[in-house]
Chain A
Amino acid sequence: MSSTADTTDTVNSTESTDSTGIRLDALLAASALRHPGRPALIAEGRTWTYAELDSTVDALARQLTVAGVAPGDRVGVYAAKGTAAVLGLYAGLRAGAVVAPLDVADPPARTAHMVRGGGISLLLAADRALPGARRAAAEAGTPEPAEDPLDHGLNALRTLPPAAKPRPLPAPTDRGGYVLFTSGSTGRPKGVLLSHANVAHFALWAAAELGLTEADRVGSQAALTFDLTTFDLFSTAAAGACAVLMPDVLRSFPRDVVGWLAEQRITAFYAVPSLWQGMLEQGGIAERFPAALRVAAFAGEPFAPRPLERYLRLLGDVPFYNLYGPTETNVCTYSRVPADWTADQEITIGRAVPGDAVDVLDEDGRPTDGPGEIHVAGATVFQGYLQDGGLVDPTRTAVFRDGVARRAYATGDLGRIAGDGRVFLRGRADSQVKRRGHRIDLLDVEAAVLGLPRVTAAAVVAKDGPHHGEIWAYVLADAPETELLAGLRGVLPLRMLPDRVVVTGTLPVNARGKVDRRALAADTGIATV
């Protein structure tokens, strides 16, 4: 190895707590010992103390064990965001399961893909979500799943008979873990498998960096399927703070979110830039700034420079953090945006989180000072994807600029790394785009379009020009746009639906004979033939 002290610091921060043996449910138990009477969770109008939450989780975990859940089993939590979902996640973790938050608004066919791909043998479904859970189980191949009612409005649905359980996952996830599904490039949702330690490392670091204490009230606005909520749940539990769940219906109304932040006296808030910008432009946050807010963070997509500058003026002494990382790496770089930052300056995603190493490699896999692909190694990097019930690890060994060979994840994000270790983002390497904060793989959408009856060819593109930010599907089909959209509604979640479906007689091709996606992206008329 040819490492030198000064280059080590550019890719890798060495001061880091050891999170190897830490379990996520133990963060809750530890805070229940330290602060039994303090509020842990506020949801649906009820406040749960740490002692109440922890003992309820304990009892529910025992019920899961009685229902046949063994360590390493994969359990999908199928409940709208709320108390039942939080209890289900924690109880699954305590029972040693690998838990996967699922979205009850997803079409059952998509949930069924997750059940099969993730090897999910049991769904923990809320009473109100039972019909959807049964449909998903049926689509996954279990038409009449065995059902056990549990406490707190939850039900255990067996999606696989005990004999058909997938093989155990390798350590450490044979004793439990956390799965977040993202849009995949093969037309199927991909299950990102994180170990307890992967999530706990991020949670503990973030709680310390943002200075959370037991006096904080952390506002939780994102869906539990979105990695932002690992902060809301587990950083909050680590600090003994209180997680306040925002009602889902408010998420589309920035003005309501602003009012809610004030009414709930939220002190810490982590959200996508789209929501922050909505609160600024339509929500009136400048006139009604939440008085209790003392720390704020964003992640998930770039923040438009001018609104970001306005926020920094509004926030004053309140720190505003830019956190970066694909779901596969939790958060791997961070930057506290300087209070005097202005929109004419470049924005950085910051340096590696302690315990992680980040480098930018060129096409030949060598560290470069120019543009290249961002690679991440270290404590927050996931175990691999769940596919066909098994684990597929896409990481590979890469030698970073300090000469150290590491197990690295290639993010697909393009960027540049400065001499001081700060990383500057430049966009995506492949077909994935961001729309309204959601990562969407255009090929995933295309696969769904091509799966519809009466469709012969399709190209799904992210539009340039006047429709910038929209996703359009150009389709060769003898069916009207409305019918195609209705068909897509049955297989894709709302966030992935194309903004337009254009039925056309022909798709343009480029010199190589491939569909000319660039021309379609730039097309300003609607070329129907």
Chain B
Amino acid sequence: MHTVEDLCTLIGSKITWGRGEDPRQLRPDTPLLETGLLDSLTIMQIVTALDAEAGIALPDTEIVAANFRSPLALWAVVENVRAGAAR
């Protein structure tokens, strides 16, 4: 997990895509909530995968809508959590 693009890949792998939809269409600024791409199960899967695959444990206080509006918003949280852990 080095870049926001890596995070896009992780998020894209947890979304159930419909026919004709392409996981590669997910960009750092793609809105995730208004478009209904994320439901509560997908959100939990992303949180679990961040921990299991990248060692990033999001505290409950960060699992709020504002942080899941786009991959970029979540990337800012990931960087904050990492900075906190490095201190």
Contacts and interface: CB of A to CB of B under 8 A. Distances in A.
Interface of B is mostly: loop
Contacts of A282: 60, 63
Interface string B1-45: 000000000000000111101000000000001101011110100
B18 A486 contact: yes
Contact of A497 (B16, B19, B68): B16
Given A486-B16, A486-B17, A252 B38 contact: yes
Contacts of B43: 252-253
Contacts of A499: 41
Contacts of B17: 486, 489
B64 interface: yes
Contacts of B38: 252
A494 B61 contact: no
Contacts of B39: 252, 494-495
Interface string A484-495: 011101100011
A225 B36 CA distance: 17
A277 to B, nearest CB: 12
B61 A249 contact: no
Nearest to A107: B18
B50 to A, nearest CB: 15
B54 interface: no
Nearest to B39: A494
B interface, how many residues as a size bin?
Answer: 10 to 19
Contacts, number: 50
Interface residues of A, number: 22
A251 B43 CA distance: 12
Given A487-B19, A489-B16, A255 B63 contact: yes
A253 B64 contact: yes
A255 B60 contact: yes
Given A105-B36, A436-B40, A256 B16 contact: no
Nearest to A251: B40
Interface in A56-113: 105, 107
Interface in A426-450: 436
B60 A486 contact: no
Contacts of A490: 18-19
B65 interface: yes
Contacts of A495: 39
A208 interface: no
A67 to B, nearest CB: 29
Given A436-B41, A494-B39, A250 B16 contact: no
Contacts of B21: 486
Contact of A486 (B19, B41, B61): B19
A249 B16 contact: no
A6 B26 CA distance: 66
A493 B36 CA distance: 11
A284 interface: yes
Contacts of A284: 60-61
B71 to A, nearest CB: 16
A250 B67 CA distance: 12
Interface in A122-159: none
Contacts of A255: 60-61, 63-64
Contacts of A283: 60
Contacts of A486: 16-19, 21
Nearest to B62: A255
A240 B3 CA distance: 53
A317 B36 CA distance: 38
Nearest to B40: A252
A494 B37 CA distance: 10
Given A436-B41, A494-B39, A253 B63 contact: yes
A249 B40 contact: no
Nearest to A278: B40
A497 B45 CA distance: 15
Contacts of B40: 251-252, 436
A286 B6 CA distance: 36
B60 A256 contact: no
B87 to A, nearest CB: 24
A251 B41 CA distance: 12
B19 A485 contact: no
Contacts of A250: 65
Contacts of A256: 64-65
Contacts of A253: 43, 63-65, 68
A251 B40 CA distance: 8
8 closest A-B pairs (Cβ-Cβ)? A252-B40, A489-B18, A249-B33, A282-B60, A253-B65, A494-B39, A256-B65, A256-B64
Given A252-B39, A436-B40, A494-B39, 16 more contacts: A105-B36, A107-B18, A250-B65, A252-B43, A253-B63, A253-B64, A255-B64, A282-B63, A284-B60, A284-B61, A486-B18, A486-B21, A489-B16, A489-B17, A489-B18, A499-B41
Interface of A: 105, 107, 249-253, 255-256, 282-284, 436, 485-487, 489-490, 494-495, 497, 499
Interface of B: 16-19, 21, 33-34, 36, 38-41, 43, 60-61, 63-65, 68
17 contacts: A252-B38, A253-B63, A253-B64, A253-B68, A255-B61, A282-B63, A284-B61, A436-B40, A436-B41, A485-B16, A486-B16, A486-B17, A486-B19, A489-B18, A490-B18, A494-B36, A494-B39
